[in-house]
RNA sequence: GCCCGGAUGGCGGAAUUGGUAGACGCGCUGGUCUCAAAAACCAGUUCCUUCGGGAGUGCCGGUUCGAUCCCGGCUCCGGGUACCA
């Protein structure tokens, strides 16, 4: 039989589907292994050549784990809610569900063509009511829980209410926005609405007026991680700050646990570092400053309590709630003008004008609690409303931003830290502030002469003793804004009574997405769901009109895969206790500060309430690199329709034009295809070199406009899925970002055909024999077993492909067609090239899938050498090799080498200073 | 600015990190087969060379018998992040 990839691949893909070869069920006799890919958003463009990279790697790993005796869970699904389908709906009126369904179908076809070992019976889609029922259910649980800082976990809100009824909130330590203390009596006296408002400050899912990132172009708010460089991640539209009533998740309650959990997981260090920075823990102190003439206190956060004596002014964020109250009449106009200006400035403007120093004096003064000094209170937008308390004490001598501000507005600068052994110099002469935490305190009351670190501690103690401050930890992480003013997302299971939100009863779930006439906001500016008829409960209470954000559905999908059909529960205890967590998670690192933090939070909450059995959901995580495009260019001579080949282009004035990579082969342009491409090139002329038109090339993003998109379907049609899979892996290390280059796939295709010819001769006759393999053949096989196992375990898929090539080359040279060897090779390669492996396995006489075979055992004895070819180097330079027995002693080796003619030649008339013999490594002779 | 990566032939990359630099593949050169081409196969391919050798893993220096690997100082490229107090 001739190797016909299309025939073989269709046959086995059909077989796998019909026999449910990759179906996974709980099996307590085997250890479990859960391999997960980040599920895709099914976009209309389908898969390009970059998408399957991670899926191929995880598939190889899954198949390998099956061969080594694991019960593997390897599911796939779709992150089906998303903006593109909704934007398309707005333009065309097509319901996003229809677009999504169509895209999923196309994705599935493409995925199936690559031969993945997914258990499709476990497919989940975030937009499926059977799935989002549990997203809604989890939201209700978040609404019904609060975070107890004493026990460090989420607890039911009923218990909080009980405590309020007995003691009020004075003994409660919670993650809360509630600052006022009330008694049980006061609690009792509250109306239901007041009680609900109060509880809202404790709930893990809560409604509040929040400063949000508003994107008017998209008509919705965005989470912090959805805003990049001041514009929306999707579409690049401008984003502004706006105060809106929004649902949020109190993820900040989990800041410390999210940080600590990173120590327990096996992820790339760079990714962990990104999460650490995003969580942004900083230790310091909260300090109360009295406002002169008012009873209000201003609370500031500082990481340098030791520099309190150097605070010469204070700065509030323009949005700070006390600004209006404390501004003196003479400063009112200026301050109001500034606040208005700051508010209307877009995020992007604010970020690009960081260097420009702006601010206004409020006319008010704060009183430094440690020395009673009066310090002016300013407002400036370098202080952010969203971080710390939105107010700072400014220590210009020891903070570069405060220093710049003080210089600009001519405010006093007092030095309080001096570097050890140096005399203090008048700060007026400084070029920059002294920000280092190394040094000795001066001019600082009782902490003078202390070391900085000692002074910090002493100051915090002092603040706490005198109740003018406290030691504290601040996090950069913000609560996750959870409302979106869009149609295509999960409806909130929430209704409103007297303006207060209440959760639906769980029996009402799923609350299905209603039909609307248009996918746009209403005339009154309400979200699209407000257009739905009868969008209210049975009792007539109005339902929430916002929908959940994209990360809602993706935060717990990996748990649902464990038990996707469950009608009564998110997932059963039994399923979760068996599958537990993801042993290997593969995906792009663009999710570092979004999905991967939200999902950890989601899982941690489910752990707290007793559902999930592991705190951390993703034990090991690998980021695959992005595949970039490799664009090709032609060079048109200015003012002509003549194109000059790459290496001759310097002789002319040319313009560089993208040529479609699909009619360029090894940078050689198919001139006819190019002429047919566009009418304006019909009569193009070409100046060739060596009879060819050579194109220039560059690595760019893969995109339609750059004509560098390579479609996997065409490659698979031409070379087959097995070749495609091997080639994607052969491209380079999995985690590297790398350009796609179709040049080279031929080499892998040649390899596959060469593999086939170990089993069939050129006339297609089966030539496998039952002969006993010889030592050489066994050595090749066992070297390969060892290398493949090793390489897969360390995710070095590219070098494994090389080893397969070496193995097949050597077996071909040895003319080895022996069943004992080839059978093992078939199993080895089955995780990389499953179709051809399945065909060969079948022809070797097996009637079950190679999936259920056992990974060949490596036997040291077959690769053992009794001699080693020592490289002999002189002063570190390798000159010749000499074969010696491995068990020869160092002394003996030295003696033998020194006797060699060649050794004498290279020594010449020089002196031998030293001879180094490293057994089974090297011999180095030092001469000179 | 700060924090992470990275730099090896014409190209993708290897060297499981002190021990033979350039595995494997692409491309290129020559050859076999063929009327010819394709395919397939064989040989060669880091650079320079006066054919003795010499140089060589971004650059400069150090440690070592020996450095792609360790240390110090740069340059360039990629990514993340940014008035975070």
Cβ contact A308 with chain B strand, < 7 A: no
Q: How far apart, in whole angstroms, are the C-alpha atoms of residue A250 and residue A142?
A: 9
Q: In what order do the strands lie in the sheet with A32-37?
A: A71-73, A32-37, A584-587, A621-623
Q: How far apart, in whole angstroms, are the C-alpha atoms of residue A768 and residue A760?
A: 8
DSSP-derived letter for residue A645 is: -
How many residues are there in chain A? 928
Cβ contact A357 with chain B strand, < 7 A: yes
In Å, what is the separation between the CA of A357 and the C1' of B2? 21
With H, G, I as helix, E, B as strand and everything else as coil, classify residue A902.
helix
Cβ contact A692 with chain B strand, < 7 A: no
Q: From the CB of residue A179, how many other CB atoms can be counted at a distance below 10 Å?
A: 6
Q: How far apart, in whole angstroms, are the C-alpha atoms of residue A326 and residue A333?
A: 13
Q: Which pLDDT does position A689 carry in this prediction?
A: 77
Q: Which nucleotide is nearest to A790 (CA to C1')?
A: B16
Q: Which pLDDT does position A139 carry in this prediction?
A: 98
In Å, what is the separation between the CA of A4 and the C1' of B84? 61
Domain extent at residue A186 = 139-259+479-531
Cβ contact A580 with chain B strand, < 7 A: no
In Å, what is the separation between the CA of A184 and the C1' of B4? 52
In this structure, are A619 and A636 located in the same domain? no
CATH of the domain at A915: 3.10.20.590
Three-state SS for A520-537 is CCCCCCCCHHHHCCCCEC
- Which chain A residues in 535-564 sit with Cβ < 7 A of strand B? none
Cβ contact A523 with chain B strand, < 7 A: no
In this structure, are A324 and A444 located in the same domain? yes
The protein footprint on chain B, as nucleotides within 7 A of a CB, is 3-5, 11-16, 19-21, 23-28, 39-42, 54, 65-67, 78-85
In this structure, are A70 and A98 located in the same domain? yes
Structure tokens at A295: 């009873």
In Å, what is the separation between the CA of A896 and the C1' of B70? 33
In this structure, are A749 and A852 located in the same domain? yes
In this structure, are A416 and A494 located in the same domain? no
Q: Which pLDDT does position A347 carry in this prediction?
A: 67
- Which chain A residues in 841-880 sit with Cβ < 7 A of strand B? 869, 871, 873, 875-878
Residues A770 and A814 sit within 8 Å (Cβ to Cβ)? no
Cβ contact A796 with chain B strand, < 7 A: yes
In this structure, are A289 and A202 located in the same domain? no
Q: How far apart, in whole angstroms, are the C-alpha atoms of residue A852 and residue A837?
A: 12
Q: Which pLDDT does position A798 carry in this prediction?
A: 94
Q: How far apart, in whole angstroms, are the C-alpha atoms of residue A599 and residue A228?
A: 20
Radius of gyration for chain A, computed over Cα atoms and rounded to the nearest angstrom: 35
In this structure, are A87 and A114 located in the same domain? yes
Q: How far apart, in whole angstroms, are the C-alpha atoms of residue A246 and residue A493?
A: 15
pLDDT along chain A (928 residues), means of 10: 88 96 96 96 86 94 97 96 89 93 95 96 96 97 96 96 94 85 93 93 92 79 74 76 87 92 87 87 92 90 93 92 92 92 74 80 93 93 86 92 91 89 82 84 90 91 93 89 92 94 94 92 86 92 94 95 95 96 91 91 96 94 87 86 83 84 81 87 84 79 82 90 95 88 89 93 88 92 95 94 94 92 96 96 95 94 86 82 83 84 79 84 84
If you measure CA to C1', which residue is closest to nucleotide B26?
Answer: A744
In this structure, are A840 and A820 located in the same domain? yes
Q: Which nucleotide is nearest to A270 (CA to C1')?
A: B4
Q: Tell me whether residue A550 is in a domain.
A: no
Q: Which pLDDT does position A348 carry in this prediction?
A: 67
If you measure CA to C1', which residue is closest to nucleotide B85?
Answer: A302
In this structure, are A752 and A803 located in the same domain? yes
Cβ contact A738 with chain B strand, < 7 A: yes
Cβ contact A338 with chain B strand, < 7 A: no
Q: Tell me whether residue A817 is in a domain.
A: yes
Q: Which pLDDT does position A664 carry in this prediction?
A: 82
In chain A, the number of structural domains is: 6
Q: Which pLDDT does position A264 carry in this prediction?
A: 87
CB-based contacts of A738: which residues, under 8 Å, 6+ apart? A625, A627, A628, A731, A732
In this structure, are A337 and A382 located in the same domain? yes
Q: How far apart, in whole angstroms, are the C-alpha atoms of residue A474 and residue A284?
A: 7
Structure tokens at A837: 């492996």
Q: Which nucleotide is nearest to A359 (CA to C1')?
A: B83
Q: Tell me whether residue A907 is in a domain.
A: yes
């Amino acid at each position: 039989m001739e190797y016909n990839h299309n025939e073989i691949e269709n046959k086995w893909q059909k077989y796998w589907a019909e026999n449910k070869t990759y179906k996974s069920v709980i099996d307590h006799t085997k250890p479990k292994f859960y391999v997960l890919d980040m599920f895709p958003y099914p976009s209309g463009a389908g898969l390009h050549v970059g998408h399957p990279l991670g899926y191929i790697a995880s598939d190889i790993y899954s198949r390998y784990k099956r061969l080594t005796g694991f019960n593997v869970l390897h599911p796939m699904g779709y992150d089906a809610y998303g903006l593109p389908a909704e934007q398309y709906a707005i333009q065309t009126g097509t319901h996003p569900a229809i677009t999504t369904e169509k895209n999923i179908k196309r994705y599935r076809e493409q995925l199936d063509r690559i031969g993945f070992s997914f258990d499709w019976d476990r497919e989940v889609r975030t937009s499926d009511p059977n799935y989002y029922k549990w997203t809604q259910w989890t939201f209700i649980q978040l609404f019904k829980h609060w975070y107890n800082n004493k026990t460090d976990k989420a607890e039911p809100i009923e218990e909080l209410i009980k405590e309020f009824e007995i003691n009020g909130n004075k003994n409660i330590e919670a993650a809360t926005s509630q600052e006022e203390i009330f008694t049980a009596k006061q609690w009792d006296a509250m109306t239901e609405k007041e009680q609900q408002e109060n509880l809202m400050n404790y709930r893990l899912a809560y409604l509040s007026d929040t400063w949000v990132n508003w994107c008017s172009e998209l008509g919705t708010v965005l989470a912090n991680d959805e805003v990049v460089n001041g514009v929306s991640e999707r579409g690049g539209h401008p984003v502004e700050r706006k105060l809106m009533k929004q649902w949020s998740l109190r993820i900040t309650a989990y800041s410390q646990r999210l940080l600590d959990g990173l120590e327990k997981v096996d992820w790339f260090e760079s990714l962990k570092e990104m999460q650490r920075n995003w969580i942004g823990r900083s230790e310091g102190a909260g300090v109360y400053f009295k406002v002169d003439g008012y009873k209000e206190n201003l609370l500031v956060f500082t990481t340098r309590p030791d520099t309190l004596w150097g605070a010469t002014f204070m700065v509030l964020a323009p949005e700070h709630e006390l600004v209006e109250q404390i501004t003196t009449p003479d400063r009112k106009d200026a301050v109001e003008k500034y606040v208005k200006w700051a508010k209307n400035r877009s995020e992007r403007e604010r970020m690009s004008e960081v260097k420009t120093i702006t601010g206004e004096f409020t006319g008010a003064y704060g009183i430094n609690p440690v020395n009673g000094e009066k310090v002016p209170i300013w407002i400036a937008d370098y202080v952010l409303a969203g971080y710390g308390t939105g107010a700072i004490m400014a220590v210009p001598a020891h903070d570069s931003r405060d220093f710049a501000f003080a210089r600009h507005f001519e405010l006093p600068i007092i030095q309080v830290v001096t570097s050890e052994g140096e005399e203090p110099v008048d700060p007026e002469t400084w070029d920059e502030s002294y920000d280092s935490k190394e040094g000795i305190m001066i001019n600082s009351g009782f902490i003078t002469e202390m070391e900085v670190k000692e002074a910090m501690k002493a100051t915090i103690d002092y603040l706490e003793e005198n109740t003018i401050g406290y030691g504290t930890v601040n996090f950069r992480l913000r609560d996750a804004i959870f409302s979106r003013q869009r149609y295509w997302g999960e409806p909130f299971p929430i209704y409103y009574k007297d303006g207060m939100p209440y959760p639906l009863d769980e029996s009402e779930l799923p609350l299905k997405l209603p039909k609307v006439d248009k996918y746009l906001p209403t005339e009154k500016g309400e979200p699209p769901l407000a257009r739905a008829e009868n969008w209210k409960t049975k009792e007539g209470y109005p339902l929430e009109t916002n929908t959940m954000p994209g990360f809602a559905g993706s935060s717990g999908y990996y748990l649902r895969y464990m038990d996707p059909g469950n009608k009564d529960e998110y997932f059963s205890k039994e399923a979760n206790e068996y599958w537990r967590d993801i042993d290997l998670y593969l995906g792009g690192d663009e999710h570092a500060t979004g999905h991967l933090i939200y999902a950890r939070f989601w899982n941690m909450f489910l752990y707290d309430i007793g559902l999930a059995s592991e705190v951390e959901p993703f034990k090991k995580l690998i980021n695959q690199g992005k595949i970039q495009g490799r664009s090709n260019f032609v060079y048109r001579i200015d003012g002509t329709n003549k194109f000059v080949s790459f290496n001759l282009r310097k002789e002319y004035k040319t313009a560089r034009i993208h040529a479609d990579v699909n009619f360029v082969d090894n940078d050689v342009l198919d001139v006819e295809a190019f002429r047919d491409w566009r009418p304006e090139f019909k009569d193009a002329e070409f100046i060739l070199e060596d009879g060819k038109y050579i194109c220039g090339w560059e690595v760019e993003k893969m995109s339609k406009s750059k004509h560098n998109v390579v479609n996997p379907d065409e490659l698979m049609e031409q070379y087959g899925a097995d070749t495609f899979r091997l080639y994607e892996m052969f491209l380079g290390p999995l985690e590297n970002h790398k350009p796609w280059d179709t040049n080279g796939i031929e080499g892998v295709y040649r390899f596959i055909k060469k593999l086939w010819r170990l089993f069939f001769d050129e006339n297609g006759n089966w030539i496998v024999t039952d002969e006993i393999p010889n030592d050489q053949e066994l050595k090749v096989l066992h070297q390969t077993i060892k290398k493949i196992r090793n390489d897969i375990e360390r995710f070095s898929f590219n070098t494994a492909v090389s080893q397969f090539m070496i193995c097949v080359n050597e077996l071909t040279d040895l003319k080895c067609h022996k069943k004992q060897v080839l059978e093992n090779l078939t199993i080895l390669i089955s995780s990389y090239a499953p179709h051809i492996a399945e065909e060969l396995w079948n022809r070797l006489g097996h009637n079950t899938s190679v999936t259920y075979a056992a990974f060949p055992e490596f036997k040291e004895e077959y690769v053992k050498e009794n001699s080693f070819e020592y490289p002999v180097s002189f002063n570190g330079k390798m000159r010749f090799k000499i074969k010696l027995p491995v068990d020869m002693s160092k002394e003996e080796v030295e003696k033998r080498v020194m006797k060699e003619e060649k050794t004498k030649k290279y020594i010449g008339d020089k002196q031998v200073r030293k001879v180094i013999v490293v057994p089974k490594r090297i011999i180095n002779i030092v001469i000179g």
